[in-house]
Amino acid sequence: VYQLSVCEHTKTCPTRWSKFCCSCYLLSERSAKGTEIKGSQVIHNMNVCVLVEQSFIASFTKKRTWIGLNDIEQEGTWKWVDGTPLTLQYWGRYQPDNGGEEDCVHVGRDKQKSWNDLSCSSSYQWICEKVPENN
């Protein structure tokens, strides 16, 4: 059983942001290493409409894109950049595999856009998430 929240349809997203499932999303204009991505704007705690939201995110980008999830502090303990622990996951097959010190997570290039752990030294765009604002 999934608990779904009800969105307030009167709230909107800033210019260039896309609204989906109670959140606003923006693909960064620049690339950064996984360790350079900070703050609460990066996707975190994807527990609302998780499967539908994953499909939306998959359509958002055609490239590898950081989602702000890592296990830098403790191997195997995945947390979002705001410190929130991972609760729901969308790992690709045989992932995470920590092949070669892979501590940061990106949306993959596979058809499902599943998650893959990768070295944080790689530089990619990232997806930001924020709560919609009142009109």
For 49, the domain range is 33-134
Give how many domains the chain has, as a whole number.
1
CA of 49: how far to CAs of 7, 23, 38, 63, 119, in Å? Answer: 11, 11, 24, 23, 28
How much is the pLDDT for 126? 86
How much is the pLDDT for 119? 95
Q: With respect to residue 130, please indicate whether it lies within any of the assigned structural domains.
A: yes
Q: With respect to residue 22, please indicate whether it lies within any of the assigned structural domains.
A: no
Q: With respect to residue 102, please indicate whether it lies within any of the assigned structural domains.
A: yes
Q: With respect to residue 9, please indicate whether it lies within any of the assigned structural domains.
A: no
For the segment 25-79, what is each residue's pLDDT rounded down to a tens digit? 888 888 888 888 765 445 544 433 444 577 777 777 778 888 889 999 999 999 9
pTM of the model: 0.75
For the segment 38-52, what is each residue's pLDDT rounded down to a tens digit? 654 455 444 334 445
Q: With respect to residue 113, please indicate whether it lies within any of the assigned structural domains.
A: yes
For the domain that residue 126 is a member of, what is the CATH number? 3.10.100.10
Q: With respect to residue 18, please indicate whether it lies within any of the assigned structural domains.
A: no
Cα distance between residue 35 and residue 103, in whole Å: 9
Residue that wins the pLDDT comparison between 101 and 109: 101
